């Protein structure tokens, strides 16, 4: 499908479920690049994507992996999940909520988690539930990338997420604002809290 076709399809999904999709356009090339800059071409670890949307990130991730078996995607919207499963027929795409991640993944852990969830739209309880599941699904030396739209940071859900996430993960980096994205966003990268710190 052409880029404009993908944009229209995504916009349709987004208008149908504004409280879930939380975006108006697929991620820009620059946002994609920053989100997966820790997944070099030929990367041999396991990669989990959560919240697939238009599949822009899915496509970029799969291009970097030697084998589709290293990839798993989790998506809540059945239409998005099935359309992406048709598009990326060899990839494993699971229908379900990030709130049930460890059950969906049957305890499998991942070295990179690329997360595009609309954090600002979630209740505080759901943020906690998903963050706990992400911790369980990341390897000890793994990394979690997620982004927040600029305006989300000023909304109660966005501010709560930023406060909360540091209770679950250590911050590795925060990108400059990516102005080419619609809307502009920052990419946040996290790592699991070390065992020593958790015991302290």
Ligand X SMILES: C[S@@+](CC[C@H](N)C(=O)[O-])C[C@H]1O[C@@H](n2cnc3c(N)ncnc32)[C@H](O)[C@@H]1O
**Interface residues with ligand X (CB under 6 A)?**
10, 20-23, 26-27, 50-54, 56-57, 74-77, 80, 97-99, 116-118
Nearer to ligand X, 18 or 66 (CB): 18
Query: In whole angstroms, how close is the CB of 42 to ligand X at the nearest point?
Result: 23
The CA distance from 107 to 138, in Å, is 10
Report residue 138 as tokens: 């990341």
Q: Which of 99/162 has CB closer to ligand X?
A: 99
3-state secondary structure of 112: strand
Q: CA 18, CA 35: separation in Å to the nearest integer?
A: 23
Other CB atoms within a 10 A radius of the CB of residue 140 amount to 10
Nearest approach, Cβ of residue 180 and ligand X (Å): 13
Encoded tokens for 115: 């997360």
- What is the chain's alpha carbon radius of gyration, rounded to the nearest angstrom? 16
H-type helices in 48-155, by residue range?
A: 56-64, 78-87, 101-104, 124-137
Smallest distance from ligand X to CB 114, Å: 8
Q: Which residue has the tokens 């999709």?
A: 21
Instruction: Name the residue nearer to ligand X (CB basis): 33 or 170.
Output: 33
Task: Considering the complex, state which of residue 42 and residue 107 has its C-beta at the smaller distance from ligand X.
Answer: 107
Q: Cβ closer to ligand X: 65 or 93?
A: 93
Shortest CB 105 distance to ligand X, Å: 12
Please state the closest distance from residue 132 (CB atom) to ligand X, in A.
Answer: 13
């Amino acid at each position: 499908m052409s880029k404009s076709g993908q944009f229209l399809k995504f916009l349709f999904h987004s208008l149908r479920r504004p409280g879930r999709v939380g975006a108006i356009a697929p991620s820009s090339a620059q946002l994609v690049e920053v989100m997966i800059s820790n997944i070099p071409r030929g990367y041999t670890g396991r990669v989990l994507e959560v919240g697939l949307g238009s599949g822009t990130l899915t496509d970029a991730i799969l291009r970097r992996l030697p084998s589709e078996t290293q990839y798993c995607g989790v998506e809540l919207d059945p239409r998005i999940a099935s359309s992406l499963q048709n598009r990326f027929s060899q990839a494993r795409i699971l229908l379900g909520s990030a709130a049930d991640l460890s059950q969906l993944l049957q305890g499998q852990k991942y070295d990179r988690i690329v997360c595009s969830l609309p954090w600002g739209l979630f209740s505080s309880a759901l943020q906690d539930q998903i963050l706990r599941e992400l911790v369980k699904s990341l390897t000890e030396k793994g990394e979690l990338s997620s982004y927040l739209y600029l305006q989300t940071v000023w909304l109660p859900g966005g501010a709560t997420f930023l406060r909360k996430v540091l209770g679950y993960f250590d911050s590795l980096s925060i990108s400059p604002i990516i102005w080419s994205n619609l809307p502009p966003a920052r990419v946040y990268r996290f790592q699991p809290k070390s065992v020593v710190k958790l015991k302290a």
